[in-house]
Amino acid sequence: MTKIELTVDGARVSDEVEPRMLLVQYLREKLGKTGTVVGCDTSNCGACTVHLDGRSVKSCNVLAVQADGAEVTTVEGLAQDGELHKVQEAFRECHGLQCGFCTPGMIMQTIDLLNENPDPTEDEVRHGLEGNLCRCTGYHNIVKSVLHAAGVES
Amino acid sequence: MTTTEVSTSSNTKTPEIGRDRRRKEDQRLITGRTQWTDNITLPGMLHLAMVRSPFAHATITNIDTSAAKTATNVVTVVTGAELGEEQGSLPNAWPITPDQKAPAHPPVAIDRATFAGEIVAVVVARSAAEARDAAELVDVDYDELPAAVDLKEALAADADHGPLAHPDLGTNKSALWIFDSAEAGTGGDVDEAIDKARNGGIVIEREYRQQRLIPAFMEPRSVVVDPTGEQVTMWSATQVPHILRFLLAAVLGIPESKLRVIAPDVGGGFGGKLQTTPEEFIAMVLARRLTKPVKYTETRSESLMAAHHGRDQWQKLTLAADEAGNVTGLKVELTADLGSHVALIGGGVPVLGAFMYNSIYKFPAYQFNCQTVLTNKAWTDAYRGAGRPEATYAIERLMDELAAEVGVDPLVIRKQNWINADEFPFTSVAGLEYDSGDYDAATERAKEMLGYDDLRAEQKQRREAGDPVQLGIGVSTFTEMCGLAPSRVLGSLDYGAGGWEHASVRMLPTGKVELVTGVTAHGQGHHTAFSQIVADRLGVDFEDVEVLHGDTAIASKGMDTYGSRSLVVGGEAIIKATDKVIEKAKPIAAHLLEASVDDIEFEAGRFSVRGTDQGMAIGEIALAAFAAHDYPEGIEPNLNSEATYDPVNFNFPHGTHLCAVEVDTETGAIKMRKYVCCDDIGTIINPMIVAGQVHGGLVQGIAQALWEEAVYDDAGTLVSGSFVDYLLPTAADTISFETDHTTSPSLTNTLGTKGVGEAGTIASTPAVVNAVVDAIRHLGINDIQMPCTPERVWKAINGAGAGGAEPTVPDAAPHFDHDSNQGARQ
């Protein structure tokens, strides 16, 4: 077991974890952060995407011990004082989700994408979301949501 | 898309139906406050891990569980032999013929593994990680047997010339199901029509492959069972909690009253979660045996190999027409791969297509033959569209081939053969009564959206210039039967259940409304759309309606969600339940208003005395019924109601989908340039949700055309067993769509709605393949086998055959000249 200390959604947490424990397992099983989900076992689907020190990572592809000392933000830590993050709001407004399972990862990836490129073209959005799979929406309204959040109306 | 939020005074409510309401579901889903089954953790909960066969077909000679049993925190390890009859046999609810061969299906294989991925032992441990670790320690001895993998070889095999999926059956054939219009009295003799067409008419013969697909819902299946209460509670990522409860009871001999099944948040289904799974039965049996809560969540690899697959058919087709291209008959010889066992409705899925091969066309003669076949692969069952995409693909591809043969535009040949708007109601050659539709209107609108004529002109220009990048335009004028289903029809097809749906309305004393529905949601937006219906019918605020579903203790009756039935069947039950509430309130209103019941009118949420300004809101009556201080004699003091609705007919959405693709003739690469569709799904409750359903459906259908295939090697191992290999499209693979609609209200339900959940998937696959073939038909190509990979396209162009699609007609018909032929016939 290895001791880790980190900040998750603004709260300081500390635990003894198995070295093999994945960050996503740590979030879900130890912290009850079940808003972040697991959709595959090959790092393809991106449903588990969170922010590690402000950059998006697939939390199934990071060990919990690698997050020692880091700041982690999940979909549960986005809304502030009851106010949705503009990307969350955009997904709601543009019907960018149906079953909602890929949504936490899509939202976290979108925020990272817009941090890097605040004014993306549709093509840049599509390539920026390439690592996140959705089976419900056909991506049409997800792309629209991202452009909406960026203030670009398609 | 914009929403107009109009302030509502009591008398001028904006109608909810037809409004782009943002979804009630979303607040939770976008903030991570979700209830996926895998989120559930209970005190003392144990975790299951499955040991799965690596072989497609093998005798299990020994299972040594001793090492696993002594591993830290392992509670027990069980095998199929040890579970014996306690585990039951998984149900097949749709035996399509009395003599169908359906081998027994123990959830844990007992002495023989019949596909790669079948469960042969189960480890129970205190954590999921420890269960998985211990599963590695289970030592299984197998004697490998010859595996029936290829569908055509499996069909040809017999006891002397195997391999047989189940050697004791002596054959791989499960059932042969036939519909013949001459026998049914719905049309003529198809063989006569074909013979006649061979002498002076046109006969198109093709064989199409419906490759095996994987539903690939994003949430892996998960099940939790808690046996600690009076009722055993199962949470499952399922589309069918009610059917699951009934079948757990029936198979395992548990009183149904002792079972509660809950489908909490469910992350997509697409038919893939309408199965009653081995994992659910195993979890139920072990939780009861161990008297502890248990959980099992599959990995994606397990999901891809062992959750049911879809499609996997060969379609041999013979279309007869006269010289002018008027279709005179269609014969379908279908071979369908069931996989290792006949799944819950797996045998019936191809039969659902039987009624759709004639589609929107007026065929005088039709015959459908379906042979189902057992193989040593994962079982097949419903996947979005279930039988109808296959049928639509076949006929829409054939109509393009017929157009090419005659030398007219594909839309012209369709119009020449389709049912005209003034011919409804129309009884099809497959015996269904189509209630409404307007194929002309949808087609004209779709043509306009695509810029059809301009693109045809560009296509001509590129052809003449010998452009290495050729343009193809694909057409699909689809219909489907949805809203499963009139119970009497299901009975006549030997389906094991009814097709009714249930709803109840509970008026609360605060004026809020609980709607309980027997259908379940896994992304469709039921909560929002049903709230809109109830708000309009009862005249209450949209926000005041709560929709409850997916829990057998709350929604006591239901037939669940599949076959685009939630709105058209479930919605009608809601209408009937709200009507009953209004009727029930009238005598209470009359009593309180001191008027005669006959003088009570109901409008916009208010009961009033005709000709006066006296009235009460429905919420006030609910409060009066709750207080029960003052209500009429002989009336129950509540404002609740229940309704069970059995549909009188299917309904028939239709639409015209047009797709433009560019095919690089030097590389075989396909680029989708534009996709438009105009669907007619009757009255629309929430246009935003409908468009979303269409978009998602389109991409699933396009993915069949271009990317997805579950591939097995010769030994029966799933090669595309992860998302690295199974090509689910990404945002970068797809484009934005243009969708619109025309409206021919359905005549078989109050609101005039038609189903939309499967429309996009059913329509889009042939539109795309027709576009690809259209781009390169002038090079002598009349088919590309799905998925139309660049390799297959390149090989076809370079004369190496269409990637194994055989037999196709070797000499493709010459390309027609649009300018001279357009509109020339009819």
CA atoms of B177 and B333, how far apart (whole Å): 10
Query: What is the pLDDT at residue A153?
Result: 63
pLDDT at B709 over 90: yes
CA atoms of B338 and B176, how far apart (whole Å): 13
pLDDT at A4 over 90: yes
Decide: A23 and A62 in contact? Cβ < 8 Å: yes
Query: What is the pLDDT at residue A152?
Result: 78
Instruction: Annotate B197-261 with DSSP letters as a single string.
Output: HHTTSEEEEEEEEEEEE----SSPPEEEEE-SSSSEEEEES-S-HHHHHHHHHHHH---GGGEEE
Neighboring chain B residues of A135 at a CB cutoff of 8 Å: 216-218, 268, 270, 696, 700, 728
Q: Is B816 helix (H, G, I), strand (E, B) or coil?
A: coil
Q: Verify whether the Cβ–Cβ distance A95 to B22 is below 8 Å.
A: yes
Query: What is the pLDDT at residue A127?
Result: 98
From the list A103, A133, A136, which residue is nearest B730 (CB)? A133
Neighboring chain A residues of B217 at a CB cutoff of 8 Å: 99, 101, 135
Q: Is B684 helix (H, G, I), strand (E, B) or coil?
A: coil
**Residue listed under structure tokens 């949420």:** B605
Query: What is the pLDDT at residue B162?
Result: 86
CA atoms of A8 and A33, how far apart (whole Å): 9
Distance of CA B447 to the CA centre of its chain: 28
CA atoms of B516 and B536, how far apart (whole Å): 17
CA atoms of B375 and B151, how far apart (whole Å): 7
CA atoms of A107 and A148, how far apart (whole Å): 13
Give the dihedral of Cα atoms B566, B569, B574, B577; nearest 10 deg. -150
Q: Verify whether the Cβ–Cβ distance B39 to A75 is below 8 Å.
A: no
Decide: B191 and B247 in contact? Cβ < 8 Å: no
Q: Verify whether the Cβ–Cβ distance A92 to B22 is below 8 Å.
A: yes
Chain A, residues 36-55, CB within 8 A of chain B, namely 36-42, 44-45, 47
Neighboring chain A residues of B734 at a CB cutoff of 8 Å: 126, 138-140
Which tokens hold the place of B472? 């193809």
Residue of B26, B33, B270, B727 to mutate, testing the A interface (most A Cβ within 10 Å of its Cβ): B26
Neighboring chain A residues of B305 at a CB cutoff of 8 Å: none
The mean pLDDT of chain B is 94
Query: What is the pLDDT at residue B13?
Result: 78
Query: What is the pLDDT at residue B12?
Result: 61
Decide: B675 and B735 in contact? Cβ < 8 Å: yes
Query: What is the pLDDT at residue A150?
Result: 97
Residue of A140, A145, A148 to mutate, testing the B interface (most B Cβ within 10 Å of its Cβ): A140
Distance of CA B390 to the CA centre of its chain: 12
Which tokens hold the place of A30? 């130890």
**Residue listed under structure tokens 């669940």:** B560
Decide: A107 and A134 in contact? Cβ < 8 Å: no
Report the share of chain B in percent with pLDDT over 90. 94
Summarize the confidence of residues A38-47 as an average pLDDT. 97
With a CB cutoff of 8 Å and minimum separation 6, the contacts of B79 are B63, B65, B108, B110, B120, B121
Report the share of chain B in percent with pLDDT over 70. 95
pLDDT at B803 over 50: no
Which 3-state string (H, E, C) describes B747-806?
CCCCCCECCCCCHHHHHHHHHHHHHHHHHHHHHCCCCCCCCCCHHHHHHHHCCCCCCCCC
Summarize the confidence of residues B712-719 as an average pLDDT. 98
Helix axes A140-149, A86-93, angle to 10 degrees: 140
Closest CA to B120 of B132, B134, B106, B131: B106
CA atoms of B762 and B758, how far apart (whole Å): 6
Report the share of chain A in percent with pLDDT over 90. 97
> How many angstroms away from the CA of B709 is the closest CA of chain A?
15
Closest CA to B309 of B375, B392, B254, B406: B375
Decide: B226 and B293 in contact? Cβ < 8 Å: yes
What element of type H or E holds B286? helix B278-290
Decide: B80 and B106 in contact? Cβ < 8 Å: yes
Which value does ipTM take for this structure? 0.98
Q: Verify whether the Cβ–Cβ distance B268 to A133 is below 8 Å.
A: no
Residue of B nearest to A30 (CA): B41
Summarize the confidence of residues B562-583 as an average pLDDT. 95
Helix axes B790-797, B759-776, angle to 10 degrees: 30
pLDDT at B10 over 50: no
Which 3-state string (H, E, C) describes B83-94?
HHHHHCCCCCCC
